[in-house]
């Protein structure tokens, strides 16, 4: 009995030891978590509190005294930087990449806190200012600016959104959802601010209403040399005629003027206009049949051969056999022409209706269906062959397979298909000479036709004429406004690197900061564009003090001051002409560039 008691005694001890081990592990993980969210240089609670009135201007001289920035491991990125700059001046930070200029720029923008020294702005210690003040009075743009997955306009106005200025009014079910959101947010200790409220601070942008803000935004885009890009994006954008009837009416006016100009100048062959009564030889068979912008995926050109409604219409007009026969001829021609072409050749992309991987399949298909009527074929074989004629463009391919008789029957089928589509709206947005098509971009709405194939410099000529028409009708402003609605994609992926950087600079400039820090923000631009942007920002700086980490030392020639940084130390401070003449570090960098 005694031995049995000793044996049973071990089990409770094991449970107790396991408990203590679990408690110790939990304590370690908790401490690690706290360390992550409470770093040594974390802002105080007072500095992070929101402020309704953060009107303290950061004006006056900016004085940096013995500023040091040290990374983990004791590496000094900036060491003992001392300089001063007058309010509303422009200072160039010059140095080699990795030499500390970017670190100093981030300290000035208070993205990094110095490990030693201080920066005072008009007598205020930068390190102790509230985030509500620095967030509104400072602006920073780095070499890899982030854009949000939203429109150009939303990204541009983001710097004006600091707090809710005008609450949104809710009713009924929406009000109940809003009240539930507030209750849950309060219970969790989260903010109750409404993301759908009006956050845009018009006063910060120096305007009185949203119309003036749009004008100011366009001025800012012009300053960063982005206006033409946004205009081009506007041409590629769409509009809802019901929401913007005035712009829609002017687009129709531009359409009419463009085609009159084409006729007057004898350049009518540049564009073959859409005409519901005519077969357009610069459109594919699929486009001629549908004669509109497909909304439903089933009506896209590459899927028409599988579309039940389209197949019914083709059957009604006895066109199915014609499509299969033409498909056979096209397939045979492609097999003959591309039999010896390497699979990766660009010729497949430019001229073939059949991909390199599909050639063997079509060779087998032609063999399998040889001598069979359409009714004897498998439905899948019919569909494969019918897909090919839909791709043919008479003016481009000139194979002689789409004759006048076939074109006339396609026009008849077009009328029937259009009537049947009226019974199922939302499938195709038809082309109408008296309407703006909301499913087609603005440029194509103005052209209202297809560019004539084979005309040398045709695209350039029509582009020039389109620009003349837009400017004559004073339509550019409306198109730029449409371009502001262009969605930039995830992280701005639909824009080029240069466009992303310029948009980020425009976003920073629009908020009219007291201090603007550009940290190699124009590195993706060529030198001529960098200089244009620099000169435009100087001309529109107003009350802003500008710090600019210049990508090239030669860019520093127009600044009020230059700070030369080498290996984390400020080695020269002064005006460009003075430092250039001194034959010091700046002069050496200029000589090497």
Q: Which of 538, 545, 540, 499 is nearest to 522 (CA)?
A: 499
What does the pLDDT look like over 59-114, one tens digit per residue?
A: 899 999 999 999 877 789 999 999 999 999 999 999 998 889 999 999 999 999 99
Q: What is the mean pLDDT of residues 403-410?
A: 95
What does the pLDDT look like over 167-211, one tens digit per residue?
A: 999 999 999 999 999 999 999 989 899 999 999 999 989 999 999
Strand 561-566 with 449-451, pairing:
unpaired
pLDDT at 49: 76
Left if phi > 0, otherwise alpha if psi is -120 to 50, otherwise beta: which for 14? alpha
What does the pLDDT look like over 330-388, one tens digit per residue?
A: 888 888 878 777 777 777 666 667 877 778 888 898 888 888 888 889 999 999 999 99
Q: Which of 578, 584, 536, 498 is nearest to 90 (CA)?
A: 536
Report whether 486 contacts 266 (CB < 8 A): no
3-state secondary structure of 59: coil
Report whether 225 contacts 536 (CB < 8 A): yes
Report whether 304 contacts 390 (CB < 8 A): yes
What does the pLDDT look like over 11-69, one tens digit per residue?
A: 666 777 788 888 999 999 998 888 887 776 777 777 777 776 666 788 899 999 999 99
Q: What is the mean pLDDT of residues 273-298?
A: 96
Domain spans in the chain, listed from the N-terminal domain onward: 1-38, 152-230, 231-263+456-483, 275-430
Averaged pLDDT score across all residues of the chain: 90
Q: Which two tokens stand for residue 460?
A: 């350039």
What does the pLDDT look like over 437-477, one tens digit per residue?
A: 999 999 999 999 999 987 778 888 899 999 999 999 999 99
What does the pLDDT look like over 103-136, one tens digit per residue?
A: 999 999 999 999 999 999 999 999 999 888 898 8
């Amino acid at each position: 009995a005694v031995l049995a008691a000793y044996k049973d005694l071990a089990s409770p001890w094991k449970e107790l030891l396991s408990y203590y081990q679990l408690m110790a592990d939990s304590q370690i993980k908790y401490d690690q978590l706290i360390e992550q969210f409470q770093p040594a240089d974390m802002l105080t609670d007072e500095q992070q509190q929101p402020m309704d009135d953060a009107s303290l201007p950061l004006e006056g001289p900016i004085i940096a005294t013995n500023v040091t920035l040290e990374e983990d491991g004791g590496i000094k990125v900036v060491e003992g930087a001392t300089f001063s700059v007058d309010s509303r001046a422009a200072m160039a930070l010059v140095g080699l990449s990795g030499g500390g200029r970017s670190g100093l720029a981030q300290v000035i923008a208070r993205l990094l806190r110095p490990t030693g020294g201080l920066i005072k702005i008009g007598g205020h210690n930068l390190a102790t200012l509230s985030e509500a003040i620095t967030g509104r009075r400072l602006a920073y743009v780095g070499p890899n600016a982030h854009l949000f997955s939203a429109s150009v306009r939303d990204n541009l106005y983001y710097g004006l959104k600091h707090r809710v200025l005008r609450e949104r009014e809710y009713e009924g079910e929406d009000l109940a959802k809003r009240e539930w959101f507030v209750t849950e947010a309060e219970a969790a200790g989260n903010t109750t601010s409404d993301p759908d409220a009006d956050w845009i601070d018009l006063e910060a942008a120096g305007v009185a209403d949203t119309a003036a803000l749009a004008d100011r935004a366009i001025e800012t885009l012009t300053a960063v040399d982005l206006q033409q890009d946004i205009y081009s994006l506007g041409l590629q954008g769409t509009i809802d005629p019901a929401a913007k009837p005035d712009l829609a009416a002017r687009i129709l006016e531009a359409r009419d003027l463009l085609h009159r100009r084409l006729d007057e100048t004898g350049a009518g062959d540049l564009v073959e206009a859409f005409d519901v009564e005519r077969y357009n030889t610069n459109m594919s068979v699929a486009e001629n049949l549908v004669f509109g912008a497909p909304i439903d995926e089933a009506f896209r050109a590459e899927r028409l051969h599988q579309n039940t409604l389209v197949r019914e219409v083709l059957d009604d007009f006895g066109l199915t056999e014609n499509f299969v026969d033409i498909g056979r001829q096209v397939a045979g021609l492609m097999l003959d022409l591309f039999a010896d072409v390497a699979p990766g050749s660009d010729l497949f992309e430019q001229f073939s209706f059949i991909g390199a991987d599909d050639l063997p399949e079509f060779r087998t298909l032609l063999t399998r269906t040889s001598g069979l009527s359409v009714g004897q074929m498998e439905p899948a074989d019919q569909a494969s062959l019918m897909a090919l004629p839909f791709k043919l463009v008479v003016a481009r391919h000139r194979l002689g397979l789409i004759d006048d008789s076939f074109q006339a029957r396609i026009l008849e089928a077009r009328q029937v298909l259009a009537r049947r589509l009226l019974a199922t709206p939302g499938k195709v947005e038809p082309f109408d000479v008296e309407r703006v098509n909301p499913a087609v971009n603005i440029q194509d709405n103005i052209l209202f036709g297809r560019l004539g194939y084979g005309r040398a410099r045709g695209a350039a000529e029509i582009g020039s004429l389109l620009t003349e028409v837009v400017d004559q009708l004073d339509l550019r402003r409306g198109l730029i406004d449409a371009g502001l609605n262009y969605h930039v994609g995830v992280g701005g992926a639909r824009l080029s690197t240069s466009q992303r950087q310029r948009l980020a600079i425009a976003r920073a400039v629009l908020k009219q900061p007291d201090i603007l820090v550009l940290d190699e923000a124009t590195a993706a631009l060529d030198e001529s564009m960098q200089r244009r942007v620099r000169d435009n920002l100087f001309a529109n700086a107003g009350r802003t003090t500008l710090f600019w980490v210049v990508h090239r030392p030669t860019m520093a020639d127009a600044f009020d001051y230059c700070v030369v940084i080498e290996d984390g130390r400020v080695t020269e401070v002064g005006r460009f002409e003075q430092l250039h003449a001194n034959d010091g570090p700046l002069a050496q960098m200029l000589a090497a560039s």
